[in-house]
Structure 1
Amino acid sequence: MRKSMDRTGRGVVCALASLALSAALSSAVAAPAPMESARIPFTERYHATQHGGIARAANSSVTCKTAAGRTATPCAAVQQGGAGANGHYRMAYIDVDSDARTANSSSATLRIPAGSRVSYARLYWGGSLRGSGQKAAKDNGRVLLAEPGGRYRQVRADTMTGHRPHSATEGFQASAEVTELVRNSGGGAYTVAQINMATGHSTAGVWGGWTLVAAYENKKQPLRRIALWDGFQSLGADRRELSVRLPGLRIPANSHGLAGVVAYDGDRGHGNDTLTVRAGQHRAHTVRDTANPANDVMNSTVTDLGRPTMRWPAYRNTLGFDSDVFDITPALRSGGDRLTFRFTTTRNPGYLLGALFVQTDTRR
C-alpha cells in the first residue's frame, strides 16, 4: 500500500508543481525577511482549550550519499536505522518530486480525523549552511509547500529566524503560519521543497528537515489544552540543560497527554541526550519509547509514540533531524497546573531545539 501511495503522491506533485513553481520562485523578492538571532528564547506561539487535538507531519530533506571514512556504517544500512552520524557521510539532497527546478523536496502525511476543523497550523523548517561549500543565509526565510493534490506555494518566514552564523554547521530554523492553507486542504500528503541547506561533507555534519504542526477542533474528542511553543536554543558545551515551563494547563489526575519535539543535529548512538517532564511539583518522568532511548532521545528519528510515520522517503535514521511525538501520560497521573520539560546533553556539540507542542486532557 505504501508503494502505491508513494507513486500517487509523487505523480500529483510532479504534474501540478510545474504549473506553479515558476510563479512561486518569481515572487521570492516580496517582503523583506524577518530579523535573525543566534538564540531565541522559548515562548508560547499558540494555545487553545477545545475538543480536539494536535497533529504533525515531518520529514528530513537531506540524507547520506557515501561514507566519508572507512569505519562508517554503510549509507544504506544507516538509512534503514543503523547507527551513524551525519559528520561521517557525504550528504545529498532528498528530492521526491522529480522536478528539475527544485533542488530538494520530501513529503509526509498529516493525519487529521474526519469532521475536524484546523484552528491553527505552523510550518517549521531548518538546515545547516556549511558542508563541502557555504550556502548564503539570504534564503533561510523562504520555502515551497504543496498541499495534498495541490501545487507549490511559496511560504515566507513571518517571525524572527534563528540563525547561528558562527557555529560549526551554521544552522538555522525559520517558521510561518499556514492555518488557512491547511484548514482548506485538510489531512493528506504535504510536500516541502527548496529548504536552504548545504550538501557534501563536514566533520560537524550536514542536516535539514521540516515539521508541519496543526491544532484541530473535533467535537467527538475530549476537551484538551493545546499549546505550541518555539524558539531556537543550543544545548552543548555552553549550555548543558534547558527547561521549558508551560503554565495554566489545569490537568486533572489520570489524564492522557502527548508531547512533540522538533530538534536538529542530534546523532544516533552518541547518547547522553535526555528529556524529562514534570506535572506541577510531582516527580519528573523520563521521556522514552521504543525508537528513542532514555539516554539518546535526540537520535535522528521521525516517529509517533515510537512508531514510524507515513512519509516519503521514510529513512529511519534521519541523520541530524528529530521530530518525535511522545506519550507523556505517565507524568500526568497526579495532575497539575503546569508542565516542565527539561532537556539535557553532555555531548559537545549537542543539538538545537526548535519547537515543543503539547496536548493534555483538561477541565473548564
Structure 2
Amino acid sequence: MLDAVRGGDSAAYGTLYERHASAARSLARQLVPSEAEVEDVVAETFTKILDLLGRGGGPHDAFRPYLLTSVRRTAYDRTAADRRNVTTGEIEQYDPGVPFVDPALAGLERSLVARAFLSLPERWRMVLWHTEVEHAKAADIAPLLGLSANGVAALAYRAREGLRQAYLQMHLATSPSQACRPVLGKMGSYVRGGLAKRETRVVDDHVGDCADCRAVFLELTDVNQGLRVIVGPLIAGPVLAGYLAGLGKAGAAGGALGGVGWLRRMPKSQQAALAGAVAAVVAGAAFLLASGTEPVPPKPVAVAPIPSPPSVAPEPEPPVEVPQPVPSRAEPTPQPPPTKERLNRGRPKLVASIDALGALVRDKPGIVGIRLRNVGRRATEELTASVALPPGVSVLDSGGRRGAAAGAVDPVGTVDGWSCRAGNSVRCVRPALRAGHATAVFLRVQVSADAPKGVGPSLRVRSGPLRLAATSPAGVREGGATARFAADGRVLTRVAGNTLLSCPEVVPECAAARAREPERRDNDLWPMTPLDQDDDADTRTSSWAELALPEGSRVVWAGLYWSGSGGRARKIMLRGPGAEEYTTVRAAEVTTTAMPIGSGYQAFADVTRMVRAGGRWWAAGNAVESGVSRHAGWSLVVVAEGRREPYSQAVVLDAATVIKDGAFTVPLRGLTPSAARARLDLVVWDGDADLPGDSVKLGGHRLRPDGGDRDARNVFDGSTAGRWNTFGLDVDTFHPVLGSDPALRIATKRDVLLLGVVAVSVPARS
C-alpha cells in the first residue's frame, strides 16, 4: 500500500488511515488539551506523511511507529513557544527518519537497546512494536503484514533474535575488556541454552563475577523489557502508558472507512491541503531528486545467522542485516540571511519539572525536587522559581523549623547556586543556566497529619521573557517511603553494614552457619549472642564493614541507621578508618514497629561531619537484646561526589516498615527515567535465609541481587558485601533500568521483614 501511495493511489492511503487513525488519536489525546486539537494534529500528521510518500520519502514497512513519531513532532511544533509553520518546501526537514526525542527523554536514543532496535530492518521493527509494545495479537497484525498468524509469530521470533544479535554487536563495538569479548560472542547461544555444558560453565562463571556481562545477559534474557522501557517511550514519548491505555479502550474502533471517505472526516482546514498533496505526488518526486535531499542509503553490516523457531514455518526474509546509520550529505545551498525564525532557534529554552522524592506521607517530613534543563542554544537570564506547596505541607529550614516563620530556607543536597526564601510560597533564585546544562534544587518539607491526599506541589519559573509552569502528578499519601536526602550532580550512593548478633561460637555448627553453608542460617534457629570483633574491652558488641568509595570522591551526606529487637537503643558508637577511639552517636529519630516476637525499632542519625572517606568503619553498642529470633545491626548510607562520575540523580528513602505475608510498594518518584542502569541498595532487617519467598520487583520484573545466594525468589538471606552470614541484616545491591514510572514492590510469603532504607542513584540523560 505504501508503494501504491507513492504511485499516486490515494485509496490505498485511505486504508492506512482506517487502520491507524485510532492509534494516532490515542497518542494525540495525551499531547494536546482539546478533542478539536486532537483531530487537527491527526489530520496534519497524515497530510504531511502523504506529502512525504509522494516525494519518495517516508516509511517503507513500519508505518505505525513512523506515524506515532510524526504525531509527537506535530504536537510539539504546534505547542512550542517559538513554533513556526512548516511549508511544503521544508517538508523534508520534517521527515522523522530518526525518532523525535522529547526534551524530557533526551539521551534515550543513545542507549544500546534503542540503537540496536533502530538498526533493524523496518519490517522487524514493525512486528516488534505491535507484538511487544502494543501487545497486539498475531491474528490482528497479520493483515498489516500480509501473513498468516503463524507467519507473524515466526517473524516476531526472528525479529527478537535479530534484536539480540544487534544488541550484542553494539556491546562489542564499545570495546569491552579482553576477558569479556569471547563471552559476549557466545552470549546469544547461552541465552537460548544452545551451548555445550563445558562452554556453559565457563560463561556461568564469568557472568557470575562480571557485572557488565551480567547486565548484558539480563537484557538479552528479556528483550521485551528493553522494548517496553526504552523503545516504547522513544517512539510514543513519556506518555506511553496513557497511549497504550487509550489504544486498549479504542480497540478496533478505527471506523468503517473505505477508499478516500476518510478525507471527508478531516477538518475542512486540512482537506484542501491534503488534496493538493495528492495532486503534487509526481512533481514532488521530481523536486526531491533535483534537490539532492534524499538520505544516503545505509551500509549493511552482516550479523551472525539467526535460527528459525521450532515447529513454525518462517516467512522468507532477506539476509539478516543490521544497517548502521551514516551522516546525511551536507546541503550545498548557501546559508540564507538571518530571519526572525532563525534567530529564535538560538534562544534559551527551558524544560521544568517538580515532584516529591519518594512520597509525601502524612505526619512525616519529605523532600520536593525541582529540576530545570536548558535545551536551547543560549544561556538563560537569572532564574526565579516559585513553588506552591499543597495544603498542610510546609517548607523546613536546616534546623527543622517551618520556613514560613524562619524566612530563609536551606536547600537539601548539592545546592548548585540556588538561594531560597519562604513566605506565602517558596521563592528560589539562581544565576543564569548555560545552554545544554541542567540544575536542581531540593526543599525539605513537613506534611501535617491532616493534609488532604492527592494534591501535589506546583511550580512557576521566570527567566527574562521566558515563562513556564509545571505540576507534580502525585501529592500527599497515607503511607510510603519518604526522602531523607537527595542530590543531583556527579553523585553516587554506597551502603555498608554488619550485624551485631550471631550464633554462639561454642556450638560446632555455628561456624558453618556463619560461613553461609546451607541450613540453620536463620536467627530464629539460634539463641543469638553478641558479636564482638574489635579489640576494645569496653565494648560488648562490635562489627566492621568496608565502605567502598571511588578514589578522590567527596562525601556529600552520610546517614547511620541501626536496628534491633526489643527496646529502643538511642545511641551507638562509630569509629572510622585510622581512628583509635569510638565516637558516641545519638539518634535524631527512632521509629518503633511491631514484630512477631515483640517490638523492634530503627534509629537514624546524620553523621556527615564524621564520615569523610571510605575504608573500614566500625560500629559498637551495649544496648543489644540477645536470644532466639533477635536481631541487631547497623548500616552506613553515603552519597558522595566524584569528578569522574557521570551526571546522576541520587536519593535516600526511609521506610521503617514491617512487611508480613504481603507486599509493600515504594514509588521511586522524582527520578528522571533513563536507559542507563541504576544502582539500587536496600537495607532490610530480620530476613531469614532458609525461609524462601522474598522478592523485589520493578515494573513487574523480579530483580536478582548482586550478593548472597543471588536468588531472585529468596532475596533477603542475611547477606551484605562480605561472604559471611550477617544474621538479621541484608544490604542488597541491584542494577535495574528504572523505566518511566518506577515503583519497587517488595514482597514476602513466609518471612517477616523490616524494610529500612532504599538508596538509589541513576545516571541522568545528559
Q: Fold conserved (TM > 0.5)?
A: yes
C-alpha contact 1:56 1:214 (8 A) present in aligned 2: yes
Contact 1:66 1:91 in 2 (8 A): no
What is aligned with 1:321? 729
Aligned residue in 1 for 2:489: 50
Q: In structure 1, how many angstroms separate the alpha carbons of the residues matched to 2:728 and 2:719?
A: 8
Counterpart position of 1:155: 585
Answer yes or no: is 1:223 the counterpart of 2:647: yes
Matching residue of 1:246? 668
Corresponding residue of 1:208: 632
Where does residue 619 of structure 2 map in the other structure? 192
Q: What displacement does 1:94 show?
A: 1.0
Contact 1:67/1:88 (8 A) holds in 2: no
- Alpha-carbon shift at residue 195 of structure 1 (Å): 5.5
| CA distance in 1: counterparts of 2:732 and 2:647, whole angstroms | 23
Q: Which amino acid aligns with 1:126?
A: S
Structure having the larger proportion of residues in strand: 1
SS for the counterpart of 2:670 is strand
Change (3 A) 1:42 1:196: farther
Q: Which residue of 2 aligns with 1:19?
A: none
Structure number, greater radius of gyration: 2
| 2:544 maps to 1:107 | yes
- 1:172 corresponds to 2:601: yes
- Counterpart contact for 1:123–1:211, Cα < 8 Å: yes
Amino acid at match of 1:208: A
Post-superposition Cα deviations, 1:239-296, rounded to whole Å, max 9, x if no partner, equal: x11000111211322x021111111111112101110113xxxx53433446331111
Determine the C-alpha separation between the residues in 2 that align with 1:95 and 1:340. 38
Contact 1:235 1:352 in 2 (8 A): yes
Residue 264 (structure 1) aligns with: 685
Kindly provide the amino acid, as one letter, of the partner of residue 45 in structure 1. R
Q: Which residue of 2 aligns with 1:356?
A: 758
Tell me which residue corresponds to 1:14: none
Structure 2 partner of 1:345: 748
Q: How does 1:303-322 map to 2 (within 5 A)?
A: 303=721, 308=722, 316-322=724-730
Deviations 1:52-79 (A, max 9, x none): 31122211111000699xxxx9211110
- Any idea what SS the aligned residue of 1:299 has? coil
**Which residue does the alignment assign to 2:716?**
298
| Structure with greater helix share of residues | 2
Residue 275 to residue 187, structure 1, CA distance change in 2 (3 Å) = same
Cα-Cα RMSD? 2.2
Counterpart Cα distance in 2 of 1:343 and 1:358: 15
- 1:117 and 1:290 map into 2 onto residues whose CA distance is 26
Amino acid at match of 1:98: D
Amino acid at match of 2:604: S
Corresponding letter in the other structure for 1:174:
A
Deviation string 1:283-339 (CA, Å, 9 cap, x unpaired) is 534334463311111111113xxxx3xxxxx6x2222211122222xx34xx42x42
2:695 & 2:537 partners in 1: Cα distance? 41
Alignment of 1:122-141 (within 5 A): 122-129=559-566, 137=567, 140-141=569-570
Identify if the C-alpha distance between structure 1 residues 176 and 286 changes in structure 2 by more than 3 Å, giving closer, same or farther.
Answer: same
- Partners of 2:493 and 2:637 within 8 A in 1: yes
Give the 3-state SS of the residue equivalent to 2:524 in structure 1. Answer: helix
Q: CA-to-partner distance for each residue in 1:28-72, whole Å, 9 max, x for gaps?
A: xxxxxxxxxxx984201111111131122211111000699xxxx
TM-score by length of 2: 0.36
* Residue pair 1:276, 1:287 contacting (<8 A) in 2 also: no
Indicate the residue corresponding to 2:28 in structure 1.
none
Aligned-partner SS, 1:270: coil
Q: Counterpart amino acid of 2:667?
A: R
- Give the fraction of aligned pairs with identical amino acids, expressed as a percent: 30
Residue 701 of structure 2 corresponds to 284
Counterpart CA distance in 2 for 1:76 and 1:119 is 39
Q: Is the 8 A contact 1:41 1:232 kept in 2?
A: no
Is 1:75 the counterpart of 2:496? The answer is no
The 1-side partners of 2:622 and 2:730 are apart by 16
Q: Which residue of 2 aligns with 1:311?
A: none
Q: Give the Cα–Cα distance (whole angstroms) in 2 for the partners of residues 339 and 118 of structure 1.
A: 27
Structure 2 match to 1:133: none
Aligned to 1:65: 504
* Superposed displacement of residue 89, structure 1: 1.0
- CA–CA distance in 1 between the matches of 2:706 and 2:608? 30
Whether contact under 8 Å (1:286, 1:294) holds in the other structure is: yes
Measured in 1, the distance between the counterparts of 2:729 and 2:665 equals: 21
Equivalenced residue count is 285
Cα distance in 2 between the residues matched to 1:290 and 1:217: 25
List structure 1 segments (4+ residues) > 6 angstroms apart after TM superposition. none
Residue 351 of structure 1 and its aligned partner are, at CA, apart by: 1.1
Q: Is the 8 A contact 1:277 1:287 kept in 2?
A: no
Name which structure has the greater RCO, CA cutoff 8 Å, separation 6+.
1
Query: Unaligned stretches of 5+ in structure 1?
Result: 1-38, 130-136, 309-313
Q: Do 2:593 and 2:658's aligned partners in 1 also have CA atoms closer than 8 Å?
A: no
The 1-side partners of 2:715 and 2:606 are apart by 28
Q: Which residue in the other structure is 1:23 paired with?
A: none
Is the CA contact 1:57–1:211 (under 8 Å) kept in the aligned structure 2? Answer: yes
- Structure 2 SS opposite 1:98: coil
- TM-score, normalised by the number of residues in structure 1: 0.73
